[in-house]
A and B are shown apart, each in its own frame.
Chain A
Amino acid sequence: MDKDQYNLLTKLQVYQFAAEDLGMFLNTHPENEKAIHDFNYVIKKQQMIKEEYEKRYGPLTPDRSVEEGDRWRWIDDPWPWEIE
């Protein structure tokens, strides 16, 4: 995996984890305004990065539409356990 892809993936992991952790906090604090504000910020960032990553390197989930004429890229490597 080239350096650009690796860096973008790391960025996605950072924001996705932040969203996951804040969401978990909100389960037990569903009215916490600060956490909701932070959650909205990281989820927006996460969505933007994910969109860019998928456009450049292919789908992260097998529920993305495929451009007419393109092939099914879901199965392409590297799979997560193959990334060095």
Chain B
Amino acid sequence: MWIYEKKLEYPVRVSQPDVRMAKYLITQFGGPDGELGAAVRYLSQRYTMPINQAKGTLTDIGSEEFGHWEMIGTMVYKLLKDASVDEIKKAGLGGYYAEHARGVYPQSAGDVPFSAAAFAVKGDAVADLTENMAAEEKARATYETLLQLTDDACLKDSIKFLREREVVHFQRFGECLRLVQEYNNSKKCFATS
């Protein structure tokens, strides 16, 4: 089960309201390659993993992604909090404002509400872990483009932390994939000998 800890994994501060940036960031909150999708995808894949290293790694990374989801939610909240309705309209979030006001709603940058299609679960450890490695690289690439879209040094600092975590997750999944392949090979050898 899960217990919530009342702190962010890494501090989130913003220098000023920025509706445009909130609009880009929200895709990491509720878009197809976002943190919510990653969290539930990894935690859903755990059940059929053949080795304990992979069960543990998916549990830990899946849980950490919820921490990242909270960091993104905090960024969006802070970027919208003191923005005027006029600024919100000008940045193209008028439709969003009509439906959600300054609420933080899980959707993509293109206004598509969060979809369970983001939870890829194949039930095959090699396929799932390979998928996750690609997902981590996609998230890293997204954070890199997001870094180009803002000059806010405070915000950049938090985004850089998230980018680095994607790199670490990619490495850990790579190690799990290698261990699963070794496990699969040892089973094959055993079965044919």
Q: Looking at the complex, which one of A62, A76, A80, A81 makes contact with B52 (CB distance below 8 Å)? A: A76
Contact size range, A: under 10
Q: Which of B47, B52, B53 has the most CB of A within 10 A?
A: B52
Number of A-B contacts (CB under 8 A): 17
Q: Does A67 count as interface, using CB distance less than 8 angstroms?
A: no
Q: Does B123 count as interface, using CB distance less than 8 angstroms?
A: no
Q: Which chain A residues lie closer than 8 Å to B47 at the CB level?
A: 81
Looking at chain B's contact residues, the main secondary structure is helix
Q: Which chain A residues lie closer than 8 Å to B60 at the CB level?
A: 62
Which residues of chain B (48-77) have a CB below 8 Å from chain A? 52-53, 55-56, 59-60
Q: Does A77 count as interface, using CB distance less than 8 angstroms?
A: yes
Q: Does B46 count as interface, using CB distance less than 8 angstroms?
A: yes
Taking Cβ atoms with an 8 Å cutoff, the residues of B that contact A are 1, 46-47, 52-53, 55-56, 59-60
Taking Cβ atoms with an 8 Å cutoff, the residues of A that contact B are 62, 74-77, 79-81
4 shortest interchain CB distances as A-B pairs = A75-B56, A75-B52, A79-B55, A81-B47
